[in-house]
Chain A
Amino acid sequence: MSSLETLLQQLFNALTIGSLYAEAAIGLAMIFSILNMVNFAHGDILMLGVYSIVFGVASGLPFWGAAILGVVFAALAGVLMERVAYRPLRGAPDVALLLTSFAVTVLVENGIIMFVSPNPQPFPVPAMLNKYVSIGNLRLPAIDIGVIASTFVLLAVFTLLVKRTRIGIAMRASSSDSVGAHLCGIDINRVVVFAFALGSAMAGFAGIGWAGRLGIVEPFMGLEPVLKGFVACIFGGFGSLPGAVLGAYMLGGMEVMFTAFLPTEYALYRNAYIFVVLILVLLLRPSGLLGTTAKEKL
């Protein structure tokens, strides 16, 4: 492979990984922008969606039918979580919500270990996604192309939703001024439920890509998506959905580039470099690259 081809291939890899992170980050950012909370259990919602796909296929559904089921199930799981664990805490300090979401992950993960299985299960990737496209020396797996394409489509759909529909406008209103929105007659509870449902559905959808890449599903698979999504949101600025996506691509890009172009001894510290960059970004631009929420800085 020539160096140009290597570069292109690595760029493609970066795009793929960035897209996976973006799909995980969008839902997280959406929930944050409304409730000002980081839902650490977002990754477990992704996991629940994926597990229901496995069940669906095992019960005889075709893959895409089961996938729809998975997205719906994830949305329901998110709404349930909000109703039971987060709504009673409305008004509590932000940290309380974050910590509670930690507790929810413990419950969900142990629940899966107890009631389903502690062992990983294979994920039934449909044959169509198992192929790849060859361009010269480049190998582009179909599933990666699917992930990239779906991310862009989703981003477009989201932007439309948020800018054009009534509920989308209501969401943006509540996120910038919840009291004012309430005074205008917007039902905050409905907006919150909608945000959770949409964000969690997003997680369920992201799960398809993640599980497709992992090849398996296991109870702790949600940890990595939520951590990466979290970091991506920080880079991009928490209040901003496009920011989360930008942050995700930056994160994916850095990961691939560090691994690809640094000699192994230096590449070992890849995560450390990324977090140092993160801290620098926070110090220089506390609201993230595209963030709009005003945050105090001493």
Chain B
Amino acid sequence: MSKRQILGALTILFVLGLVFGLAQLFAEAYLTRVLITIAIYAILSVSLSVSNGFTGVFSIGHVAFMALGAYTAGILTLPLQVKATTMQDLPRFLGTIQIGFLPATLAAGLVPAIVALLVGAAILRLSGHYIAVATLGLLVITSEVLQNAEALTRGARTFTGVLPLTNLGWVFFWAVITLYVAWRLKRSHFGRQMLASRDDLAAAQAQGINILRTRLLAFVVSAFFTGVAGSLYAHFVLAFSSRTFYLPITFEVISMLVVGGMGSVSGAFLGAVALGSLKEVMRLLEPGFAIGPIHVPPVYGLAQIVIATLFILVMIFRPKGVLGDREIDPLFWMRWLKRQDDGARLKSQM
């Protein structure tokens, strides 16, 4: 990495660290929850940008990986007494172990990654709409399997008793790693191949790029981090079932990616921050509020409507998202300073 890139990375690390650090010190439970929520969605959004944005492959059923990650990590960290009372049918080796958050989250990433490898090898050969449908099928199949594998997942009953292990520190850690991996991937050799295969499939193939391998790599990496986000989610919400991971969450994550910029890591991240904050602000306004003498009555559902409308507007005016493929240069402040500096120097010379 060049000196400039290192400086840029450090700037981002600093800014994020500042935000999380301040939150850790001063924020109360409510703001902490909102911050954690936004961060988890940001991880989902950035990992989705790796598979969908870079390669143009639209995986609608990606949340299946989140579900797999959530259940994997949830089962692994569940305390033994809870396992004994609520999940007596677990296979012996799962029923007698309880591991820590980090290894469980790694496992939560690996399981979906393996599934993605197997499934991807089959379906990533298809094109456009058909991959979208096949991934939707993956979501349905995963949901069905999770619902029926009662011994492992308690079936349709709520999976509960999960330890509240997610906190600002862990979320910060995983967010930074996801951002870093996505960013490096995009700037790497593979990243350029992915973008090429998205923009002009025939030309890319003519160049000798192995499309399947490129797509598969993106898919697997993306599945890994989506699974990690699933683990963080599980230890945050503390209770879930297979229907938690279905269409509503899918739409939320997709909108963040689409609004922010499908091919952009910073876009995906900022899309999550912007939409996540917007959703929460709207939610606070929903019960009605007063501006001076004007009293606005409650409008439940305002948040969903505003976000859906925003989505449609972005699609009409900027169909590749606000940022498209470009990234925000973290060192833009340096350029601004330099321009001020140059201006001052020029003036003094005149």
Q: A96-B315, A106-B308, A113-B301 are in contact. Are A286 and B140 (CB under 8 A)?
A: no
Q: Are A103 and B145 in contact (CB under 8 A)?
A: no
> Which of A267-298 touch B at CB < 8 Å?
268-269, 271-272, 275-276, 278-279, 282-283, 286, 295-298
Q: A106-B251, A269-B144 are in contact. Are A282 and B305 (CB under 8 A)?
A: no
For B202, give the chain A residue with the smallest CB separation.
Answer: A296
Contact of B304 with A by CB under 8 A? yes
Q: A110-B304, A275-B137, A276-B141 are in contact. Are A103 and B311 (CB under 8 A)?
A: yes
Q: Output the least CB separation between B143 and chain A (Å).
A: 8
Q: Are B126 and A96 in contact (CB under 8 A)?
A: no
Total A-B pairs in contact (CB under 8 Å)? 112
Residue from B123, B201, B254, B316 in contact with A296 in the complex, judged by beta carbons closer than 8 Å: B201
Interface string of B106-142 (1 = CB under 8 A from A): 0000000000000000111111111011100110110
Q: Are B316 and A88 in contact (CB under 8 A)?
A: yes
Q: Which residues of B contact A99 (CB under 8 A)?
A: 254, 258, 311, 315
For B309, give the chain A residue with the smallest CB separation.
Answer: A107
Contact of B15 with A by CB under 8 A? no
Q: Which residues of B contact A223 (CB under 8 A)?
A: 247
Q: Which residues of B contact A231 (CB under 8 A)?
A: 133
Contact of A5 with B by CB under 8 A? no
Q: How large is the interface on B (under 10, 10 to 19, 20 to 34, 35 or more residues)?
A: 35 or more
A149 to B224, CA, bound (A): 50
Q: A110-B301, A283-B122, A297-B126 are in contact. Are A234 and B308 (CB under 8 A)?
A: no
Q: Output the least CB separation between B331 and chain A (Å).
A: 32
Contact of A116 with B by CB under 8 A? no
Interface string of A109-128 (1 = CB under 8 A from B): 01101100000000000000
Q: Which residues of A contact B176 (CB under 8 A)?
A: none
> Which of A48-104 touch B at CB < 8 Å?
85, 88-89, 92-96, 98-100, 102-104
Q: Are B316 and A89 in contact (CB under 8 A)?
A: yes
Q: Which residues of A contact B251 (CB under 8 A)?
A: 102-103, 106
Contact of A202 with B by CB under 8 A? no
Q: Are B319 and A278 in contact (CB under 8 A)?
A: no
Contact of A210 with B by CB under 8 A? no
A126 to B307, CA, bound (A): 40
Residue from B124, B148, B254, B301 in contact with A114 in the complex, judged by beta carbons closer than 8 Å: B301
Contact of B212 with A by CB under 8 A? yes
Contact of A38 with B by CB under 8 A? yes
Contact of B90 with A by CB under 8 A? no
Q: Which residues of A contact B309 (CB under 8 A)?
A: 103, 107
Q: Are A100 and B311 in contact (CB under 8 A)?
A: yes
Q: Are B134 and A282 in contact (CB under 8 A)?
A: yes
Q: Which residues of A contact B138 (CB under 8 A)?
A: 275
Q: Are B299 and A114 in contact (CB under 8 A)?
A: yes
Q: Are B123 and A279 in contact (CB under 8 A)?
A: yes
Q: Output the least CB separation between A30 and chain B (Å).
A: 16
Q: Are A271 and B141 in contact (CB under 8 A)?
A: yes
Q: Output the least CB separation between B278 and chain A (Å).
A: 14
Q: Which residues of B contact A278 (CB under 8 A)?
A: 133-134, 137
Q: Output the least CB separation between B131 and chain A (Å).
A: 9
A110 to B254, CA, bound (A): 18
Q: Which residues of B contact A282 (CB under 8 A)?
A: 123, 126, 130, 133-134
Q: Output the least CB separation between B313 and chain A (Å).
A: 10
Q: How large is the interface on A (under 10, 10 to 19, 20 to 34, 35 or more residues)?
A: 35 or more
Interface string of B228-271 (1 = CB under 8 A from A): 00000000000000000001000100110010000000000000
Contact of A230 with B by CB under 8 A? yes
Interface string of B292-309 (1 = CB under 8 A from A): 000000011100110111
Q: Output the least CB separation between A201 and chain B (Å).
A: 24
> Which of B306-350 touch A at CB < 8 Å?
307-309, 311-312, 315-316, 319
Q: Are B132 and A234 in contact (CB under 8 A)?
A: no
Q: Are B122 and A279 in contact (CB under 8 A)?
A: yes
Contact of A196 with B by CB under 8 A? no
Q: Are B305 and A98 in contact (CB under 8 A)?
A: no
For B317, give the chain A residue with the smallest CB separation.
Answer: A88
Q: Output the least CB separation between B257 and chain A (Å).
A: 10
A296 to B211, CA, bound (A): 12
Contact of A205 with B by CB under 8 A? no
Residue from B127, B140, B299, B301 in contact with A275 in the complex, judged by beta carbons closer than 8 Å: B140
Instruction: Give 22 CB contacts A-B under 8 Å.
Output: A89-B316, A93-B56, A95-B56, A98-B58, A99-B254, A100-B311, A103-B251, A103-B255, A103-B308, A103-B311, A106-B304, A107-B312, A114-B299, A234-B130, A268-B148, A275-B138, A275-B141, A276-B141, A278-B137, A279-B122, A286-B130, A298-B124
Further contacts, 18 of them, CB under 8 A, given A98-B132, A271-B144: A89-B316, A92-B319, A100-B312, A103-B309, A104-B308, A107-B309, A114-B299, A269-B144, A269-B145, A272-B141, A275-B138, A282-B123, A283-B123, A286-B126, A295-B130, A296-B201, A297-B127, A298-B124
Question: Taking beta carbons and an 8 Å cutoff, which residues of B are in contact with A?
Answer: 56, 58, 122-130, 132-134, 137-138, 140-141, 144-145, 148, 201, 211-212, 247, 251, 254-255, 258, 299-301, 304-305, 307-309, 311-312, 315-316, 319
| CB-based closest 10 A-B pairs | A275-B137, A106-B308, A110-B301, A103-B311, A103-B308, A88-B316, A272-B144, A92-B319, A298-B125, A272-B141
